[in-house]
Amino acid sequence: MSESQRLNLIVFAPTRRATSETFIRANLAGLPMRCIPYFGDEWPLRRPLQALYATAIVLSKVLTRMRLLRAASWPASFVAWFIIRRYRPDAVLAEFGFEAVRVMEACVWSDVPMVAHFRGSDASARSRLGLLEGRYRRLMAIAAGVIVKSRPMADTLLSLGAPPTRVLVSPSGANTAMFHGSDPAAAPPVLLAVGRFVAKKGPLQTLRAFALVCRDPVAAALKPKLWMVGDGPLLPSARSLVLELGLEGQVCFLGVCSQDRVAQLMREVRCFVQHSLVAPDGDSEGNPVAVMEAQLSGLPVVATRHAGIPEVVLEGQSGLLVDEGDEESMAQAMAQFVLDPDLAARFGECGRQRIQEGFTIEHHLHQVTQLLLQVIEDRLERCASPTCQS
């Protein structure tokens, strides 16, 4: 057994049930230490401490809505303190910044190092960042480490007081066992979009850009199609827009799909598209995993210069990037891959190599593991010092 496998890690997270939370499940399965998870939405009869934690999270949410932000940290922190006393972990990993502020005081009381993992809206949306700014400043003073998905997210947290030496920029990464085998040169001119139908994913912008492609007589002659995977509050608006634009025969809404199904769809299309942008409430992407999955599969990407996307897409080599809201430029980029399957294949191969070299799940898990081991080692050294012993 390796040294890391002898270590205990408590993981506090809001949920593991949502389809979008595959990254949390990947961490639990892939980290080399013993992971002890507690979730804010599970009330199992046989695990009273888990049920108590979920109840405390509900109470914390109520207090947060009442703007009693300091008090909101107490319920979950008290329960988390009991959990920490029971398992005596070597470290705590809190998934999402808003979950971290709920349990951070327990780590102070227990003198256990905590790593806070920010993923997107928790470091951008005004409902999160604006409301919790003061608590985040407290968190930055407490956390032994902070994980973010992109440089812009890192800059946001650095502005709130995160010490630069504690911040790890690590995209969640794509699954090499699942995403592979795309052949854009042989695929029909089908574009694929994967993501929740919410403002920051830009589904309506993607549809309007695709409509411009279909109005071009040369591209339209090839009968391009757009497949859209996902669900969300903007889906009814997307369906209405398809009718308004006369795209009923060219746009297919596939609903929520499993990762296996998404991987298969990526092997059947020419290109991946996503018009990410800052939502009206300030919500922003971290680093969209679907963009990495598409590139690892071997697909070219059409996306925006948003959040961490330019960090994983080599502009002009593995994908074509446009400014947020520029639907005409996005249409032109889509049309290039519709019209030129060989170009799609060259970009796709570049993207596959790009992700394999630095943006797989394995890369992410290694980076997170090294950070956790470092904060644990730092604590051991601190406790072994004469100052601590005295």
Does 210 have pLDDT greater than 70? yes
Quick one: fold of 4-173+360-389?
Answer: Rossmann fold (3.40.50)
% of the chain at pLDDT higher than 90:
86
Report pLDDT digits (tens) over 274-284.
999 999 988 89
pLDDT of the residue at 1: 47
Report pLDDT digits (tens) over 82-139.
999 999 999 999 999 999 999 999 999 999 999 999 988 787 767 777 788 999 999 9
Does 364 have pLDDT greater than 80? yes
- Using pLDDT thresholds of 50, 70 and 90, give the confidence band for residue 214: very high
The DSSP bridge partners found for residue 10 are: 36, 92
End-to-end CA gap in the chain: 34
Q: In whole angstroms, what is the distance from residue 114 CA to residue 375 CA?
A: 8
CATH of 190-358, one of 3.40.50.980, 1.10.3080.10, 3.40.50.2020, 3.40.50.2000: 3.40.50.2000
Q: What is the DSSP string of 42-67?
A: ---TT-HHHHHHHHHHHHHHHHHHTT
Report pLDDT digits (tens) over 331-350.
999 999 999 999 999 999 99
The domain segmentation of the chain, as residue ranges, is: 4-173+360-389, 190-358
**Phi (first) and psi of residue 384, to 5 degrees:** -85, -10
Q: In the chain, what is the greatest distance between 2 CA atoms, to the nearest angstrom?
A: 80
Contacts of 3 (CB under 8 A, 6+ apart): none
CA distances from 105 to 51, 101, 328 (A): 20, 8, 49
